[in-house]
Amino acid sequence: FFSGVMEKLGLGPEVLLEENPRLIYARLTGFGQTGKYAKSAGHDINYLALSGVLSKLGRKGENPYAPLNLLADFAGGGVLCAMGIIIALYERTKSGKGQIVDASMVEGTAYLSSFLWKSQNLGLWNRPRGENLLDSGAPFYETYRTSDGKYMAVGAIEPQFYEQLIKGLGLDSDKLPSQLSFSDWPKMKKMFASIFAQKTQMEWCSIFDGTDACVTPVLSFDDAASHQHNKQRGSFIKNDQEEISPRPAPLLSRTPAVPAFKRDPFIGEHTEEILLEYGFTKEEIAKLHSDKVIEFSKPKANL
């Protein structure tokens, strides 16, 4: 995630683009290639913090929290870097020239959150963290514990969906406060929580499945892979070690991805094989390994 690493190896973009002007050279770092923090270490939570997004994540009265390392590393980083490469490839079909993609996880995460920035004047985010429509403030956009210790996810934003939620909970909307009565939200959340706690997750699924109440079970990885909907679509696959992982997405109609059913390679497992294929001698590979430029999966390389 540091900038300047490739220059130290003598493989900076200027060197390689001189060799091949059509090259797309993508640089994925946390803070980007320039700026005060460009050469500073960091991780997802730091990039998330600098982007402004972390300040929006968390419940009322609690510290902001980072949702694993999904937002900055993978979404704002990996996915947007890949998008930059695709854009550059498309542009090359017109110009015939390559270019450098400077993918900063801070900027990628901020851009990913454009909706938050652009909707500030709509009243969606004008309350403190944890008190807004989509950040656990609303009783109809929340998770609730069931009697068997599992959870249901509720996302009944639109009035017609909210009405079905109320119906499924066995309540009468005429006897309840208005859906968007902010002052009543804490009381409504307690009411919904006490009702959800009276039935198991499966019982709630039998009530809400097939409705438009926007109520779904919160599934573990194992449960997600075995859920009827996901099984019908083949959304998860097993490799030859019986390990489960998501099928490549999105699904293309004419050229769908062909998933690999072999186990994931160990880090460095194919290093020697690939370098030999590209013309390196065994002596050169041994030198690279002893200099710790490359890594093997085994402590001692079979050279």
pLDDT tier at 299 (50, 70, 90 boundaries)? very low
**Is 118 found in the same domain as 11?**
yes
Residues with active-site annotation: 43, 73
User: What mean pLDDT do residues 146-171 have?
Assistant: 98
HSE (CB half, 13 Å, CA atoms) of 162?
16
Distance (Å, whole) CA 30 – CA 45: 10
User: What mean pLDDT do residues 269-298 have?
Assistant: 91
Check: CB of residue 76 under 8 Å from CB of residue 111.
yes
Tokens 């913090």 correspond to 49
Question: What is the residue range of 204's domain?
Answer: 141-218
Structure pTM? 0.88
Residue 9 covered by a domain: yes
Residue 132 covered by a domain: no
Residue 147 covered by a domain: yes
CATH number at residue 170: 3.30.1540.10
Check: CB of residue 54 under 8 Å from CB of residue 114.
no
pLDDT tier at 286 (50, 70, 90 boundaries)? very high
**First-last CA distance in the chain:** 31
- How many structural domains is the chain composed of? 3
Which spans in 169-250 are helix H? 185-196, 201-208, 221-226, 228-233
Residue 71 covered by a domain: yes
What pLDDT was estimated at residue 184? 97
What pLDDT was estimated at residue 293? 87
> What does 40-71 look like in DSSP terms, one character per residue?
S---HHHHHHHHT-GGG-S-TTS-----TTII
The two three-digit tokens of residue 184, written as one number? 């009543």
138 burial level (CB within 10 Å; 0-12, 13-18, 19+): buried
What pLDDT was estimated at residue 1? 55
**Is 160 found in the same domain as 96?**
no
Task: Give exposure, 91-127, as e/b (b: 16+ Cβ within 10 Å).
Answer: eeeeeeebbbbbbbbbbbbbebbeeeeeeeeeeebee
**Is 66 found in the same domain as 114?**
yes
CATH number at residue 40: 3.40.50.10540
Residue 225 covered by a domain: no
Best CA proximity match to 166, nearest among 216, 217, 212, 219: 212
The two three-digit tokens of residue 132, written as one number? 């807004």
User: What mean pLDDT do residues 57-68 have?
Assistant: 96
The two three-digit tokens of residue 133, written as one number? 């429509």
Distances (CA, A) of 5 to 11, 33, 39, 295: 9, 11, 10, 17
Residue 115 covered by a domain: yes
**Is 204 found in the same domain as 113?**
no
pLDDT tens per residue, range 70-123: 999 999 999 999 999 999 999 999 999 999 999 999 999 999 999 999 998 887
Best CA proximity match to 224, nearest among 215, 213, 235: 235
**Is 16 found in the same domain as 53?**
yes
Mean pLDDT of the chain: 94
User: What mean pLDDT do residues 178-183 have?
Assistant: 95
**Is 213 found in the same domain as 159?**
yes
pLDDT of residue 5 exceeding 90, the answer is no
Task: Give exposure, 25-50, as e/b (b: 16+ Cβ within 10 Å).
Answer: bebbbbbbeeeebeeeebebbbbbbb
pLDDT tier at 126 (50, 70, 90 boundaries)? confident
pLDDT tens per residue, range 197-208: 999 999 999 999
What pLDDT was estimated at residue 189? 98
pLDDT tens per residue, range 204-253: 999 999 999 999 999 999 999 999 999 999 999 999 999 999 999 999 99
**Is 148 found in the same domain as 63?**
no
What pLDDT was estimated at residue 301? 47
Residue 226 covered by a domain: no
pLDDT tens per residue, range 8-61: 888 899 999 999 999 999 999 999 999 999 999 999 999 999 999 999 999 999
